[in-house]
Structure 1
Amino acid sequence: MKWNNVKSDISAFQLNQVVLGWTCLDLLRLINASRHFPIITVSGEVRSKILAHLNSSDVELGGLLLGSVVSSQDLDSGIVVVNVEDSIESLEFESTSVSLSMGSTVWQRANAAKRSNAFVVGWYHSHPDLGAFFSGTDRKTQRDFFNQQYSVGLVIDPVREEECWFSGPDAIEIAPCNIVMPSDIGPLSYPSQSLRLLEQTSTEVLDLAP
């Protein structure tokens, strides 16, 4: 596969665009929670769509995740939130209960839905009755095709009802407290609701040291 080195036509939402009216303490809580890996938000509708797809067969299935990014800097650094807004299931694939190869048409469909602030932010796939983890092959896929700092990977075992999220080219596992799933929420459109969820799920002590 040949990749052309062209200027990207996608961009992140700047943090100052989505935290208007926040207190300094709320903003510090948000930044603190995203120090090691981003906060992931997924609407209930998208979550149900992904689960319905993965529960439709006993072999591995997968697709792409579309969404937006909130950053204090840009798409390369300062990632605070990755908001998953939609999923595109792969319709052409080769799959068994332990392997999956997705066709290129899923990328074409994802690119057709892309906007400047909504684009492919990652991928998802299932591990039926194997547990939720990233295999060596999954890590290579992440490194080869989802290697941006904002790129996320979701693996779900629909049989055991387990899931894990991973972030960045090194596929770092994201702590469960950073997965926020309010219903039908945009990128920090309702900051007070997001922060209530963060306060309930995160036990990390706020560290204000530089």
Structure 2
Amino acid sequence: MEKSDATTIEIGETSRERKGKAPLLGAAENARAAGYRRGVAIFDLILRVSAAVAALAATITMGTTEQTLPFFTQFFQFQASYDDLPTFTFFVIAMSIATGYLVLSVPFSIVCIARPQVTAPRLLLILCDTLTLTLTTSAAAASAAIVYLAHNGNSGANWLAICQQFTDFCQRVSGAVVASFISVALLIFLVVLSALALRKHG
């Protein structure tokens, strides 16, 4: 008996099979994008709480700063307080506003974790984060200039350095300014994260 040669014919994918795979690929890509956005939102929440803690520490430290130099008589006393300088008063007000905003923004950050596909909360956060970043940066920079003068003075303007006498006062206001710059750095990261999340949406 003669054996017939077996012939195999390769049949490509039909259009129906290709259409069936396309939704699966789209669903997998959407799932990866949602996972990415959820991870960004979780990191956003951690940074937001950290920035709120730093802003609160700066507010409390500056708002409770005062020092009185001891002298022999109560009629001659030198006292330094944060509210003696309008810049430090502005610092306390600005950092209080930033702290309040960061605390109130936490629920919106949680919404971004629970529903990463929603863009409205993320748009609101990036807008308010940018405004808060501007406010805290101006307060921190202005206060840093005053702290520098307190430490070094200015011979041209005959401004004396007071930190040799008011050491505790200068240490506390310096610490408050450092905490405010930490909050500024964290806010910058928050704005960048929100921008990345929105870009992934697009």
- TM-score normalised to the size of structure 2? 0.25
Q: Which has the higher helix share?
A: 2
More strand by share: 1
Task: Between the two structures, name the one with larger relative contact order (CA 8 Å, sep ≥ 6).
Answer: 2
TM-score, length-scaled by structure 1: 0.24
Larger radius of gyration: 2
